Amino acid sequence: MELRALPRPQGVDAFNATRVSQERVVYRLRAVLLRFTLASDGDIHLAIAQPGEPAATVIAEIPDPARMTGAPDRYRNQVTQARRGFIQTFGTPTNVWKEVDRAVVLTGPIFYDYRHGQVGGKFAGAESGIEIHPVLSIAPAGKT
C-alpha cells in the first residue's frame, strides 16, 4: 500500500502525542481484508493488504464507539455505522483471528501508532506504525 511508504513524522512517538497534519487526512482505499480480531481495548483490528501483494499490509482499526469520548459526534456516528455493518457482513469478532481474504473498500484517517512490533505479512502492520484508525466506513468491494 502506498500508505506504507509514508515516512514516520517527528513528534508522534509519545503515547499522547499531538496529532500531526498527515493524520487529519481521510483516505479511501481498496484493500484485501486478510483477517480480523477483537483486541483487549475493544477495537476490532483488521489486517489489510494491498491487492495482489499479501505481504504489503497495514492494520486498520474500528474502535469501540463507547470509548471514543473525545471524538466529535459525527465521527462516533460513522464508526458506529461502520462497526455495525462490519459485524453484519463479516461476523462478530473474538480474541481469535478470523481469516477472511476478501476485497474491501474502506475510509479513515491514518494514525501513527507507537511502534510495538508490527511485523507485516499475515500478522499485518507496517514498520512505520502507520494504521487506518478509526475506520469510518468499510464494505465489500463492489458494494460501495
The amino acid sitting at 85 is: G
Q: What is the pLDDT of residues 36-54, one digit of tens each?
A: 999 889 999 999 998 988 8
Q: What residues does each domain of the chain span?
A: 2-8+19-139
Higher-confidence residue of 87 and 39: namely 87
Q: What is the pLDDT of residues 8-41, one digit of tens each?
A: 778 777 667 777 778 788 999 999 999 999 988 9
Question: CB-based burial of residue 47 (10 Å sphere; 0-12 exposed, 13-18 middle, 19+ buried)?
Answer: buried
For residue 20, the model assigns a pLDDT of 75
Q: pTM for the whole thing?
A: 0.87
DSSP state of 112: E
Average pLDDT, the chain: 85
The answer to whether domain 2-8+19-139 has CATH 2.40.50.140 is: yes
